[in-house]
Amino acid sequence: MEDYNDPWMKEIVAGFCEETESLLDELEAILMEIEQNPSNSKDLEKFGQVIDRIMGASKSIGAEEIAIFCELGKVIGYKSSQIKEIPLIEVVVAVLFDSLDFLKKMNHDLKAGSEKSMGKINTKAFTSRLRWLSDKFKDIDRASCAVEGNLSQNSIDDLMKSLGL
């Protein structure tokens, strides 16, 4: 991460955090829409597109923890947009709501000057659900997912390990 004491960097981070808050609200609205109509799984692709914007911006300012976490959300959004089973979509939406809660916390901490949040968040149940989803998604091939191996367990494990999960 860049030097937070630099006034220019503080301004950039503040702008990033403000934009991220707006995008998190947009993501929440997408999930609420899917929650009301889970048969419309294509909206999960929209979720992936929006979270990808946060991922790109966070990489550009050096907020790697947020970027990696967004990559997980992006892959889940894109992969789950290919499924039709309503009970599975409902689980995906619940996991993505949890993801939003984590991202809100990370964004808040970044705004307060702390670039590391994952160590302060209880992620045990979330990690278990990610592994479960990984198994459900193993046969879905989605070229736009950045993680190689079709969201293989090893890929998820690598992303989670880099977050300290």
Residue 73 is assigned to a structural domain of this protein: yes
Per the structure, the count of domains in the chain is 1
Between helix 86-111 and helix 7-36 the angle, nearest 10°, is 160
The domain of 121 spans 7-162
Residue 2 is assigned to a structural domain of this protein: no
Residue 67 is assigned to a structural domain of this protein: yes
Residue 1 is assigned to a structural domain of this protein: no
Distance CA 122, CA 104 (A): 14
Whether the Cβ atoms of residue 118 and residue 124 lie closer than 8 Å to each other: no
Residue 80 is assigned to a structural domain of this protein: yes
Mean pLDDT of 96-110: 91
pLDDT of 21-69, one tens digit each?
A: 999 999 999 999 999 999 888 899 999 999 999 999 999 998 888 998 8
Residue 15 pLDDT more than 90?
yes
Please report, for the domain that includes residue 102, its CATH number: 1.20.120
Distance CA 95, CA 111 (A): 24
Buried b (16+ CB within 10 A) or exposed e, 97-134: eebbebbbebbebbbeeebebbeebebeebeebbeebb
